[in-house]
Structure 1
Amino acid sequence: MKIGYARVSTPEQNLSSQIKILKEAGCEKIFTDQLSAVRVVRPGLDQALNISRPGDVLVVSKLDRLGRRTVDLLDFVKVLEDKGVSLESISDGIDPSSAMGRAMFTIASVFAELERDLILERTHAGISAAKANGVKFGPPEKLSDEQVKAASRLLKTADDNGEFPSMSSIAQVFNVDKSTLSRRLKKLDAGA
């Protein structure tokens, strides 16, 4: 039996093109995951392995769907071999059951790992460049700098009875959590 496996790294990505390729390759069952290949636990791949029997073929559209690190891919092929299951990578055209196929598989694995490392390197460089240019990452601040300064003044201003307002009461005025106000006040005091 041919068992298909498709994976995308994020839920925003689409599995349909991989599933189409696997169906065209004659896969009777197809399992999927929507998570990074770096993750150790991949439920879809685990299910595919659990139903596989000696003589079955695990089919992927491309080797990097199984993983990006060479050592992980080689370990995975060993697991398949121990189960008597062969591997077919459609776009790579590699059959790791022969000596030449294993050599090509190892080379393809090295390139998949290199590709991932280069993507990470470029991503980190882009983030660093953006930060250097003043781009801020993450959700927008819930309080403007002016609001934080006003909150700071309010905390230092006593009422007619000589009592100072609490952090909680000031946070309610600005419709934020006490922890948000406290964090922003610490940043203000630190001069950030």
Structure 2
Amino acid sequence: MSKVGYARVSTHDQSLTLQLEALKQAGCIKIFSDTASGSDANRRGFLDLKYYLRSGDTLVVTRIDRIARSVLDLQQLVAYLKEQEIELTATEQPISTSSAAGKAFLDMLGVFAEFELNIRKERQLEGIAAAKAAGKYKGRKPIPVDTQQEILAMHREHNPVSEIARLCKVSRNTVYKIIREQP
């Protein structure tokens, strides 16, 4: 029956410090953290957290969007925690899975977090489209034709893809793409 914290930031440019301090002040005896996208299901800290939690524990986060990025993700997590008899609470939001009102508020916050994420994605796509229209976004430079021919020749000689990539100074994915797109 202990409080266990979880903190997450999306990029290395962001700091976990404020979240870690808030979780310590909330009385967490152990805190797990990640620097990764919330949509990444293989976050090491999150996986370690799930392994560490025991029946009767309380999982503490600062905000619900630190642990789940979609309504489905949040609902699955809440169902898992309920099954394990683990309570979820947030320091900056009046939620707790121990009451019906807290659960309802949790679901609403999940909807808003997903909405915010979708709006951000839309804005990013609009920005890219505008940059392309203005001729400022051109993508990567194409692989020179002679390099493509060299890759195809080495492939026909049954050289391993890793070796082709290393010798031609391109990624393995580029080698696969050139092979796949050959006429």
Instruction: Assess if the C-alpha contact under 8 Å between 2:94 and 2:102 holds in 1.
Output: no
**Residue identity matched to 2:130:** A
Match of 2:59, SS? strand
Equivalent-residue separation in structure 2 for 1:178 and 1:47 (angstroms): 37
Q: State yes or no: 1:49 paired with 2:47.
A: no
Render the CA deviation track for 1:29-59: whole Å, top value 9, x for unaligned: 1101111111111211111121111111111
Instruction: Assess if the C-alpha contact under 8 Å between 2:32 and 2:45 holds in 1.
Output: yes
Q: 2:65 matched to which residue of 1? A: 64
* Distance of aligned partners of 1:56 and 1:137 in 2 relative to their CA distance in 1, 3 Å threshold: farther
Compute the displacement of 1:12 (Å): 2.4
Q: List runs of 5+ in structure 2 lacking aligned partners.
A: 151-167, 175-183
Aligned residues: 154
Equivalent-residue separation in structure 2 for 1:31 and 1:4 (angstroms): 6
Q: Which runs of 4+ in 1 moved over 6 A?
A: none
Q: 1:122 matched to which residue of 2? A: 123
Compute the displacement of 1:76 (Å): 0.2
Q: 1:33 matched to which residue of 2? A: 34
- TM-score, structure 1 length as denominator? 0.71
Equivalent-residue separation in structure 2 for 1:28 and 1:90 (angstroms): 15
Render the CA deviation track for 1:145-166: whole Å, top value 9, x for unaligned: xxx8xxx9xxxxxxxxxxxxxx
Equivalent-residue separation in structure 1 for 2:169 and 2:71 (angstroms): 48
Q: State the superposition RMSD in angstroms.
A: 2.9
Q: 1:131 matched to which residue of 2? A: 132
- TM-score, structure 2 length as denominator? 0.74
Q: List runs of 5+ in structure 1 lacking aligned partners.
A: 153-166, 168-176, 184-192
**Residue identity matched to 1:57:** T
Compute the displacement of 1:138 (Å): 5.5
* Distance of aligned partners of 1:178 and 1:90 in 2 relative to their CA distance in 1, 3 Å threshold: closer
Equivalent-residue separation in structure 1 for 2:19 and 2:138 (angstroms): 32
Compute the displacement of 1:178 (Å): 8.0
Q: 2:98 matched to which residue of 1? A: 97
Compute the displacement of 1:86 (Å): 0.4
